[in-house]
Structure 1
Amino acid sequence: MTASAFHFQTLNPDTILDALFEQGIRIDSGLTALNSYENRVYQFTDEERRRYVVKFYRPGRWNAAQIEEEHQFAQELAADDVPLAVPVTIGGKTLFEHQGFLFALFPSLGGRQYETDNLQQMEWVGRYLGRIHQTGRRRHFMHRPCFGLQEYLLDPRALFESSLLIPAALKPAFLHSVDALIAAVTPRWDENVTMLRLHGDCHPGNILWRDGPLFVDLDDARNGPAVQDVWMLLNGDRKEQRIQLETIVEAYEEFSSFEVKELTLIEPLRAMRMVWYLAWIVRRWDDPAFPGSFPWLQDEDFWRGQTATFNEQVRVLNEPPLQLTPMY
């Protein structure tokens, strides 16, 4: 993989038009870039006035087999009446290649923003998560990875140690906070937890509302514990989160059994997400899109704040985990 491919520098409008033309798609509008840091995503209208989204996958992130598993999962979910964006099939394929770039087409589906404080909408989402996981339990991803300590904590720790983005004077304290977080998460992580195919990144930004929820972006789909698709929907103080959790779980269990013991993984998963997300930005820093989008990463105050945030998460990990009321 060349540096230019990594930076998407060779993915210009002509390249995109040629890639689409090869699949019989002729654009009748401009290309509107949509918000995506990891991949490059564009919306357009074809000559028959059909609206599409084309996604060009970041080279080196997922291989073809891993992307095809994602597409197969989406097709299974759609067949089970889960509302989500499903890749378009052309000539029996959903994944295509042009000049070294893997890409896929999706119908352009609009919707309103999911309301994170609306318990009725949250109930709907919980019900569909149960259906997603019902499908996800049928088999495992064979090519995509599982949630685990190595990818989400240990590999990022090694990256931070070698990174020149972290100010030298602040790095010892920052690494100490990462080590403390790893030490707190490790005994709380259950290697024997039941793994299933997940959405993987089920935060409110990946849910649209169209007379019900519409799930988008399975780019982070992988094997993991069911609670991974639940905890990112919780917000507010502990009392509010408990009400939300009970709302989601009651609806979820109309289709899937929820393992209450997985609630002990909420804060470990949150810690893993915090570390992984920061490492993702550091890892992508050579992509020109990242310094302009995350300029605060070069400020000393950010790293002081991040150290404090990790230390606070260690404190949270030592508190009793969120639980359901006895009626569940």
Structure 2
Amino acid sequence: MSARVRWAWLSAITVVVLAGAIGYGVWSFVQYQQRQNSPVSVAVSSKNLNPSAPHIAFRNTAAGDGYGHVATVPLASPRGARTVTSTVCDRVYAAGGTLSCLSTNPGIVTTFEAEVYASDGKALRSWPLPGIPSRTRVSPDGTLVASTAFVTGHAYAPASFATVTVINKISGGGYGNLEDFTLIVGGRKIAPVDRNVWGVTFAPDDRTFYATAASGDRTWLVRGDLKKRTLTSIHETAECPSLSPDGTRIAYKKNITPGPVPHWNIAVLDLSTGKETVLAESRSVDDQVEWLDNDTLLYGLPRASAVGDDDVWSIKAAAGAAPQMFIEHAWSPSVVH
């Protein structure tokens, strides 16, 4: 391929990515304005929640002037009145006294950003995202933040997206793009040119995490080692993992429908036995689930009747369990103890 042809391809890809970012920014801004200007549809508390008390942090999707803002409810009363903050995020996660917020900044050129806050709301660090915000997680001790952004596409459908996932330190610096880590599948190092990595979940120690690695139409649950800079496969067909609080199981979404339109069921893998249990939620769950406790999972689902509105559902991590509504008009939950 000549230099001229390579530059032509690069220019074309740049135009596509830029057009996608602008289009997403415009859509996001219009949706935000419409729902911001609607009447408030949930009970909002006038008191600030004590950040040291057990609670659930999430993105408020209820109509009204708090739409898109970070909100909290007491862990003991998830259906009660919510406290709505001034922080606006597309995706949010909190742990260890640190809150990660991925956001869109609409404009002539739409930009995307990751911002990190302390539990008292003080801004700690920020960095630009290369594309549309998708996933974020914070390590249990609050010192590491993972962020995933779409650089092409906007959904995890086969062969239609590319991601960039990085892990940064709150104190500064980080580990860079996880695609640069060594990928080991079946005991062999592989270097696919179309590799994607996304959906980090952290273990309690200071070096281990889990994530999804993909090449072509295959996905693997991988164990990451920050010090060795490796990603080692431990299970196939698993996306957006979430490690249980006791570290014994991993929940993830599992595509059970081959073809261009995926259908994701929730599955749980026992790390000691390798047994996988597919849960009874029949709707497609395109989310990174969160553990409420060692027995129950939380996840977001969009409302079919309202664009831009979502609900958080719960389900026991056992075969045959039925899903239940957990928090209405909410998205991207994290359980903070």
Higher helix share: 1
TM > 0.5 fold call? no
Computing the radius of gyration from Cα coordinates, the structure with the larger value is 1
Q: Which has the higher contact order (CA 8 A, sep 6+)?
A: 1
TM range (shorter): under 0.3
TM-score by length of 2: 0.26
Judging by fraction of residues, say which structure has more strand: 2
